[in-house]
């Protein structure tokens, strides 16, 4: 193994005093130090060349790589691989090029302060990310740890929770953990009165649902009413069966072709950790609707492409699964989607027309897979009584690429 030319050292609020002997030796021997103002201040005077973060990151990476013949140390907060600069650098450098020395993460410190078992807690970062991320995790009894964007984030979280009916949730904001200025602020969301605290803070949240809260589990099959739509929506029962066939897996990407309200893409993102999804929709009036659904349901990272498939699929990141909810009879669409999949990729297509069924029968004869007819009826009022009102039967083709 080659000797790493770059070290990433995590710092706590106690600076050099909190470093292990090995980490301190790396910092002391550094010829190049890189970090934020706070990191460099914690280190104090040093003979090394030093410079701060640059965004976008590409110029900084170029400066670092130009110094591979020197001892380069990048300073980070806590655990560099926990929503930190180490994670970013790992996307650009080989593991053999880096030596990573973590300090306790903010999440570890918060769990220690609150006596929360780490394995029972979900962790998110709101640093540079929308509050809408929270919406996917607002479930009764859920414990969340959130990295704040700045000192106003706890108050923003409190207002957000209250507006969505979770005002009784308990918020604890922990600032400067492990340092001489450590502080704690606690209140329910609806009674939160502190406009701003220290910028370096971590938020602990115990979710409590009030009478008006909308409870939306992460299991596929959300109520149809959870989505804003114009009628082009894969209905709840069919959606649950469709997601089961698509089989969301961690880190995998879905193409939702002819997305409509993007219910399939949104539920895919909610179902699998670190998953990605691209919703492709040709109707311009649905683009804003898709964005609203993604935000409301906690998946603001959903990528939306306005265009008509198959042309709109050109240049997209390759999928691990494809759902075709509209436009199946368009020439070349199914073949383009099938070709884009790698080995083990899943393709699911739903149709309600005879022409669509003919296309699916051809696809099954050519590519294999299974055909299923899904018929759903819902009990609804008929005069003063109750009767079954059928939805349009859906024919579904599902195949796995060998």
Going by the DSSP 8-state scheme, the letter that residue 155 receives in this structure is H
Per-residue burial over 237-247, b if 16 or more Cβ lie within 10 Å, else e, is bbbebbbebbb
CA atoms of 220 and 283, how far apart (whole Å): 25
Residue 216 within a domain: no
For residue 393, tell me if it sits in a domain: yes
Integer Cα distance of 291 and 303 in angstroms? 9
CB 262 within 8 A of CB 239: no
My answer on whether 95 and 190 are in the same domain is no
In this structure, the answer to whether residues 71 and 129 fall within a common structural domain is no
Q: Centre a 10 Å sphere on the Cβ of residue 11 and count the other Cβ atoms it contains.
A: 24
Rounded-to-integer distance, Cα 326 and Cα 281, Å: 9
Q: What is the pLDDT of residue 10?
A: 97
* Cα dihedral 137→138→139→144 (10° resolution): 60
Q: How far lies 162's CA from each of 124, 158, 170, 196, 340, in Å?
A: 19, 6, 11, 17, 44
The CATH number for 337's domain is 3.40.50.150
Instruction: Give the total number of structural domains in the chain.
Output: 3
Helix (H) or strand (E) holding 378: strand 377-382
* Domain-located, residue 198: yes
Residue 188: inside a domain, yes or no? yes
Instruction: Flag whether 1 is in a domain.
Output: no
**Cis (ω within 30 of 0) for the bond into 310?**
yes
Are 282 and 308 in contact, with CB atoms under 8 Å apart?
yes
Separation of CA 171 from chain center: 22
Are 47 and 120 members of one domain?
A: no
- Using a 10 angstrom Cβ sphere, with 0-12 exposed, 13-18 middle and 19 or more buried, the burial of residue 198 is middle
Last residue of a domain, one of 174, 206, 238: 206
| Among candidate residues 172, 233, 217, the one with its CA nearest the CA of residue 225 | 233
56, 83, 103: which is the final residue of a domain?
Answer: 103
Residues with pLDDT less than 70, the chain = 1-2
Q: Are residues 54 and 181 in the same domain?
A: no
- CATH of residue 48's domain is 3.40.1010.10
Q: What is the pLDDT of residue 53?
A: 87
Q: What is the pLDDT of residue 279?
A: 98
Strands 32-34 and 72-77: parallel
Is the preceding omega at residue 56 within 30 degrees of 0, hence cis?
yes
Task: Judge if 393 and 244 occupy the same domain.
Answer: yes
Strand partners, 171: 187, 205
Q: Does the residue 213 lie in any domain?
A: no
> Are residue 71 and residue 98 in the same domain, yes or no?
yes
Cα separation of 184 and 186, whole Å? Answer: 7
Domain range for residue 288?
224-400
Q: Residue 349 pairs with which residues in a beta bridge?
A: 324, 397
Q: Which residues in 52-114 belong to E strands, given as ranges?
A: 72-77, 98-101
**pLDDT number for residue 2:** 66
The answer to whether residues 80 and 152 belong to one domain is: no
59 shares its domain with 27: yes
Residue 334 has a pLDDT of 96
Record the tokens describing residue 74, joined without a space.
């990048």
| Domain-embedded: residue 93 | yes
pLDDT digits (tens, 9 = 90+) for 11-44: 999 999 999 999 999 999 999 999 999 999 999 9
CATH of the domain at 162: 3.30.950.10
The DSSP-derived string for 25-58 is: HHHHH-SEEE--HHHHHHH-S-SSEEE---SSSH
Identify whether residues 165 and 244 lie together within a single domain. Answer: no
| Domain stops at, among 103, 125, 142 | 103
- C-alpha separations of 157 from 107, 121, 200, 210 in Å: 18, 18, 15, 16
| Same domain, residue pair 247 and 384 | yes
Q: Are residues 58 and 149 in the same domain?
A: no
Do both 230 and 95 map to the same domain?
Answer: no
């Amino acid at each position: 193994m080659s000797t790493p030319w770059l070290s990433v050292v995590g710092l706590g609020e106690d600076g050099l005093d909190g470093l292990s002997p090995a980490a301190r030796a790396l910092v002391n021997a550094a010829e190049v130090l890189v970090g934020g103002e706070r990191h460099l201040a914690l280190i104090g005077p040093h003979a090394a060349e030093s410079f701060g973060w640059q965004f976008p990151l590409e110029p900084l990476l170029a400066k670092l790589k130009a110094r591979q013949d020197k001892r380069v140390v990048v300073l980070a907060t806590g655990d560099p691989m926990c929503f930190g600069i180490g994670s970013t650098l790992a996307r650009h450098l080989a593991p053999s090029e880096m030596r990573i020395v973590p300090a306790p993460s903010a999440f570890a410190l918060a769990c220690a302060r609150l006596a929360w078992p780490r394995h029972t807690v979900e962790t998110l970062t709101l640093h540079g990310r929308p509050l809408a991320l929270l919406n996917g995790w607002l479930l009764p009894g859920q414990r969340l740890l959130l990295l704040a964007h700045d000192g106003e984030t706890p108050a923003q979280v409190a207002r957000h929770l209250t507006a969505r009916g979770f005002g009784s949730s308990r918020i604890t904001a922990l600032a400067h953990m492990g340092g001489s200025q450590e502080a704690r602020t606690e209140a329910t969301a609806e009674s939160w009165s502190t406009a701003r605290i220290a910028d370096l803070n971590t938020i602990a949240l115990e979710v409590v649902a009030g009478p008006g809260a909308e409870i939306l589990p992460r299991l596929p099959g959300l109520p149809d009413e959870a989505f804003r739509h114009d009628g082009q929506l894969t209905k709840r029962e069919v959606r649950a069966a469709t997601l089961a066939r698509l089989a969301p897996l961690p880190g995998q990407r879905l193409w939702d072709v002819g997305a409509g309200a993007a219910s399939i893409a949104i539920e895919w993102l909610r179902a699998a950790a670190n998953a990605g999804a691209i919703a492709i929709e040709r109707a311009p009036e649905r683009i804003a609707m898709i964005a609203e659904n993604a935000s409301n349901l906690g998946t603001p990272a959903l990528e939306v492409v306005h265009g008509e498939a198959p042309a709109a699929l050109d240049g997209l990141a390759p999928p691990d699964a494809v759902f075709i909810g509209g436009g199946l009879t368009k020439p070349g669409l199914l073949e383009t989607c099938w070709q884009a999949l790698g080995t083990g990729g899943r393709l699911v297509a739903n149709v309600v027309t005879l022409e669509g069924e003919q296309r699916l029968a051809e696809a099954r004869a050519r590519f294999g897979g299974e055909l299923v007819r899904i018929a759903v009826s819902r009990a609804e009022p008929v005069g003063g009584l109750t009767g079954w009102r059928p939805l349009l039967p859906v024919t579904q083709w599902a195949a796995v690429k060998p």
